[in-house]
Chains A and B, each alone.
Chain A
Amino acid sequence: MTDPFATFDPPLAGPPVLAPTDVSYVLEDTAVGRMLVAVRDGGRVLATAYAPDDAAEEHWLARVAARVSPRVLRHPAPTDAPRRALAAFLDGRATRVDVEPDLALASDFQREVLTGLMSVGYGERTTYATLAERVGHPRAARAVGTALGGNPLCVTLPCHRVLPAAGGVGGYAGGPAAKEHLLALEARGGRTSGGPGPRTRSDRIS
């Protein structure tokens, strides 16, 4: 026994209360899976990214810290607007996720591909090859697929509307079931049968 403070066990008030800073995020259970919603100071949306597990959450937070700012805090309030917009889209009450996206987490090539994606409208579908051609890289269908696989703004920028030319739904960051769910939602023009609303995970204790 060498530590004179071994029995020093003061009652602790809890984690510090810090005001929202450069980046605020929450984890949100949506109709298509658990997502990380990250917002820049000022309200532009950096991420609506699938984060099914801790590793995926880590991946996105490390990317935010490296590319935007290390001042990243879990804060629900600044993410309220994008979470509402996401829920409206997933409930079929809106045909777009009405937020201002910020592509700071995307690579240059991803930016080209995601910008080309914006002309694929609600309920429409295209193929990786067609999108590759549209963004001026006709032989890069596979690279386009990879770029979309790392889309930081899933659902918001609708990479789920891009399918393999050979058939099937192809890959998706949120899993094929989520992609099918979104395609079916758009095919019937929105208006789902409802179900429980999204719950926030922001109050999660880690």
Chain B
Amino acid sequence: MSLPPFQHLVDAHWRDVARLAHGLVGPVHADDVAQQAWTQALAAYPRVRSARNLRSWLLTITHRCAMDHHRAGRRSTAHDDPASLAEAPVAAPPPEPPDAGLWARVASLPDRQRDAVVLRFVGDLDHRAVAAALGTTPGMSRRLVSDALATLRLDLTDPEDLR
């Protein structure tokens, strides 16, 4: 088994990683999260066992970095100002247009719904990969995504459900 040179992963997937980070943490912290994901991926790369699904592997690392970011955000918020915790928004400050509307609504979703819908549609991962990233089952991934779509009041159908 041989892995492709890491530069190929960067060239092929940096846009996808950046987009996913934008979807998961918003525009203010997306670059930090993406950068951190790449640094972690580079460090772990020689231990990867299969050259298949390297894109999913990168997006899963990006999701983990985004979760760390949300956790760290909550901790520091609680530390700085315990009173603000109850009403603190789940995610980053509001973004710039043109995605402001969508991001504001995505950011207000419960964590797991937000992660599932963003991994599914921004990451373009199937429910198996979304479930793996979230540590759950494909069935639960489907439910989280459909709940998220309902909450976003988007009258849309996940294409995978039509198959």
Contacts and interface: CB of A to CB of B under 8 A. Distances in A.
Nearest to B124: A3
A58 to B, nearest CB: 9
Given A13-B31, A73-B10, A5 B2 contact: no
B158 A72 contact: no
Interface in B1-60: 2-8, 10-11, 14-15, 17-19, 22-23, 27, 30-31, 34-35, 38-39, 42, 45-46
Question: Is chain A's binding surface mostly helix, strand, loop or mixed?
Answer: loop
A69 interface: yes
A192 B27 CA distance: 54
Nearest to A72: B5
B5 A61 contact: yes
Contact of A12 (B6, B19, B157): B19
Nearest to B18: A12
Interface residues of B, number: 41
Given A10-B19, A71-B46, A5 B102 contact: yes
B102 A7 contact: yes
A74 B149 CA distance: 41
Question: What 7 A-B pairs come out closest when comparing CB atoms?
Answer: A72-B5, A16-B38, A70-B3, A10-B22, A66-B2, A15-B14, A5-B121
